[in-house]
Amino acid sequence: MHALSTWPDELAFHDADPRRRVSAELDLGATWRWGGSNDAWRMAWLRDTGELYVCRADGYDGSCTDVQVLAVVRREADLDRMLDGWRDRRTDPDGLSWVLGRVSPLAVAV
C-alpha cells in the first residue's frame, strides 16, 4: 500500500493530531479487503484534516490497528467525485486496490 503516513493503532493516530479526535468523520465502511486476504479494513475521511485513511478492523469492539493515511482531500465534494461508486466496491475481494487507483494521483497533493 502507498500510504502517506502510518500509525500502529487509532490511539496513536489520534494522539499525533488532536484535530482527529474531534473531527466529524465520514464512514466509508469496514468491509474493504486486499486481494488474497481475509482481513477487513475500515475506511473513513476526516473533515477537519482532509485525511482519507484505512485501518485494519480488529474485532467487534470497533478497534483498529495499522492506520494508514491514503490521501489528503480537503473538500468532501472532491472526495465524492474521486470515490464515486465506492458503495459498490467496498465488498469486492480486492476493493482497496480500486481505492488506491482512484487516490494515488492525489496522494502527493497534501
The tens digit of pLDDT for each residue in 33-83 reads 999 999 999 999 999 999 999 999 987 777 899 999 999 999 999 999 999
Segment 20-36 shows an average pLDDT of 96
Higher pLDDT, 107 or 57: 57
Total domain count for the chain? 1
User: And the C-alpha cell for 23?
Assistant: 473531527
Report the alpha-carbon angle 38-42-43, nearest 5.
130
Res 110 pLDDT > 60: no
C-beta of residue 106 within 8 angstroms of C-beta of residue 83: no
State in Å, rounded, how far the first CA of the chain is from the last one.
18
Which residues are CB-neighbours of 38 under 8 A, at least 6 positions away?
none
The domain containing residue 79 runs over which residues? 5-107
Distance of alpha carbon 49 from alpha carbon 57, whole angstroms? 21
**Per-residue pLDDT at 88:** 96
Mean of the per-residue pLDDT values of the chain: 90
